Amino acid sequence: MGYIAKIHNMLAQKEISCAELTKEYLNRIESDNAALKAYVCVTADEALKTAEAVDKKIAAGEEIGLLEGVPMSLKDNMSTKGISTTCCSKILTGYKPIYDATVWELLKAQNAVMLGKTNMDEFAMGSSCETSYYGGAANPFNTNHVSGGSSGGAASAVSGNLAAYSLGSDTGGSIRQPASFCGVVGLKPTYGAVSRYGLIAYASSLDQIGPVAKTVEDAAIVFDAISKPDKRDSTCLGAKGGDTFSQLGNDIKGMKIGIAREYLDGVRDDVKEAVLAASEVYKSLGAEIVYFDLPVIKYALPVYYIIACAEASSNLGRYDGIRYGYKTEHYNGTHDMICRTRSEGFGEEVKRRILLGTYVLSAGYYDAYYKKATDLRGTIIRAFNDAFASCDVILAPTVPMTAFEKGHAVSDPIETYLTDICTVPVNIAGLPGVSVPCGFNSKGMPIGMQLIGRSFGEAQILNAAYHYQQAAPENFKDTKWGVKL
C-alpha cells in the first residue's frame, strides 16, 4: 500500500487526527531540516488551519478524499498566493505571489496539507541543488552527498519522510534525477499533461510539473489529481490516457520493453548492472526485452542546453527590479539599475545560462545553434516515434552515476551537464518518464532506472513501474529521517 492510502486510512479510521499528524511532520521538519535542508519555507500556520478543517469534516462523519489531509510540499518555483515563492534565488527575495499555480489550486481544493516550499537549484538550473541561494539539500541516504537537482528539496523531503509526497518540476531531468539519487519515485509527465500556469518559467517548451513520491501508487494518485486541462495554459490538454491509479496491476505479460544501446554507453558499471538486472525481473514477469539503436540521442544534450538556455534568456528577462523581488541599492540611471539588480540578484549558473541563451539567439549564431537545435529536436522526436513502433516502453538508466559528494558539481559545469544525458531526451521529445529505485551501489547509495513511454502513456509506464516495485521491494528502502507511519 502507498503512503497516501495509508495516511488516508489512518485519518478516516480516526487512528490519528489530521492536526496531530501535521504537528508530527512539522516537529520532524524542525528537528531534521537543519541536516537535510529540504525546505526553504515552512508554512505551519496554513498547514494546521487545513488540518483542522479536515478534522472537522471527519468529526462530522463526512467522507474525505484520498489526498485530503495528506501532508505534502511544493517546489519553491510554484506560485502560492501570499506565501513566499523565490525559486531559491536572491532576485525573488520577499516575493509573494498574488495567485496560486493551477497544480496548487487543484490540490488545495482537495484539502491537501502543504507543509512548505522545498529547496531547488536556482531557477531550476542545476543537477545537485547546490546552486540554491540557500545552499543545497542533502541526500537522506548520506548527508555528505547531494540530493540531486533541481528538485533536490522535493526528493530529500520525500526520501527523508518530511512529506508524504511533493511536487517537483522537470525541464531536463529535475524530477527524475533527484528521485534517482534519493531512492524515490519521480514522474515527469508528458508535455501538456499538467498545467504550467503559476510555475515560474525556466524553459517553457520543456518544463513540466510532476510528483515525487515514495511509491508508484502515490505517484499515480498525485498525477491523476493534477493532470487536468487548463485554459490558462494553452499547451495543457490534461491526461489523455485515463486514470493511471486504476490501471496499476494490469497484466504486463507480452509487454515489449526496449533498451536503446546508446543509453548504456558511458554509464557506470554498478548503474548498468542494476538496470540490466531490472530487465531480467521484467523477463521473469513475462515481458519481452528488445534491444535497439537510437544514435540521434548523442545530440540530445547540446540540443537541450541550446534550447533551454535560449528560452531561459527570454523568460528571465522579466527580472528588472521594478515589479517584484530584489532591487539594487545604488545605481545611476535606469539601465544601470536593471543591470546591477540582475548582476547582484542572479547566481553564477543562472548568469552563465542567460549569456549562453543570448549568444545562441543573437544575430550570426541563431541559424548555427538555435535553428539547428530545434530542427534536431524534430529528428529526435521522430526517432522516438520509430522506436515505439517496436516496443511499448523504453528502459534506461535515470542518471549514469549515483549521488556525488557535495561540492563536486560546482567545479566543472560541463561535467555536471553530462549527468543529464539520460534524462534530457525525454524533455526534448515531450514524453513521459518515471524514475524508479532499482538497487544500491557498494556504498549504499540508491540507483534509479527510467521507464519512458509514448506521448500520454503515463498509465503504461506507471503500471510497468508498479510491477517492478511489487517484484523488487528490497530496492525501495526507507531512511532514518522524519515521520514513521
Partner 1 sequence: MVTREDVENIALLSKLFVPENELDSLTASMQEIIDFADAINNAPSSEDGFDNINNLSNVFREDEVVPSYPVSEILKNAPEQAEDHFLVRNRE
| Touching partner 1, residues 427-446 (CB under 8 A) | 429-430
Strand 185-188: give its sheet, edge to edge: 39-42, 113-118, 71-75, 165-170, 208-213, 185-188, 433-440, 446-452, 393-397, 256-260, 288-292
- Least CB distance from residue 317 to partner 1, whole Å? 8
Q: For partner 1, which stretch binds (CB under 8 A), given 50-58, 171-179, 244-252, 365-373?
A: 365-373
* Binding of partner 1 by 334 (CB under 8 A): yes
Beta carbon nearer to partner 1, 92 or 167 = 92
**What x-and-dash track marks residues 73-112 binding partner 1 by CB under 8 A?**
---------------------xxx-xx-------------
- Least CB distance from residue 269 to partner 1, whole Å? 25
Selected catalytic residue, list 79, 89, 156, 174: 174
Helix 458-471 to helix 269-284 angle (10° resolution) is: 90
Residue 439 grid cell: 538497487
Q: CA-CA distance, 182 to 291, in Å (whole number)?
A: 28
Catalytic annotation on 75?
A: yes
C-alpha separations of 105 from 194, 230, 347 in Å? 13, 11, 30
Sign of the C-alpha dihedral, residues 366, 367, 370, 371? positive
Q: CA-CA distance, 177 to 179, in Å (whole number)?
A: 5
* Interacting residues of 355 by C-beta distance below 8 A, sequence separation 6+: 313
* Single residue of 340, 410, 441, 472 touching partner 1 by CB under 8 A: 340
Q: Rounded to 5 degrees, what angle do the CA atoms 271, 220, 280 make? A: 35
- Least CB distance from residue 52 to partner 1, whole Å? 27
* Single residue of 34, 61, 323, 474 touching partner 1 by CB under 8 A: 323
Catalytic annotation on 159?
A: no
* Single residue of 368, 386, 473, 480 touching partner 1 by CB under 8 A: 368
Q: Residue 30 CB: number of other CB atoms within 10 A?
A: 12
Q: CA-CA distance, 271 to 440, in Å (whole number)?
A: 8
Selected catalytic residue, list 75, 117, 214, 406: 75
Contact 349, 125 (CB under 8 A): yes
Beta carbon nearer to partner 1, 312 or 459 = 312
* Interacting residues of 74 by C-beta distance below 8 A, sequence separation 6+: 80, 101, 103, 104, 114, 117, 118, 166, 167
Sign of the C-alpha dihedral, residues 97, 345, 119, 427? positive
* Single residue of 205, 247, 279, 441 touching partner 1 by CB under 8 A: 205
Beta carbon nearer to partner 1, 292 or 299 = 299
* Binding of partner 1 by 126 (CB under 8 A): no
Contact 428, 206 (CB under 8 A): yes
* Binding of partner 1 by 65 (CB under 8 A): no
Q: For partner 1, which stretch binds (CB under 8 A), given 7-15, 28-36, 274-282, 372-380?
A: 372-380
* Binding of partner 1 by 192 (CB under 8 A): yes
* Binding of partner 1 by 120 (CB under 8 A): no
Interacting residues toward partner 1 by CB under 8 A: 94-96, 98-99, 191-192, 205, 234-235, 237, 296, 298-299, 301-303, 305-306, 313, 317, 320-327, 329-335, 337-340, 342-343, 346, 351-352, 354-356, 358-360, 362, 368-369, 372-379, 381-382, 413-414, 417, 429-430, 455
Which residues participate in catalysis according to the annotation?
75, 150, 174
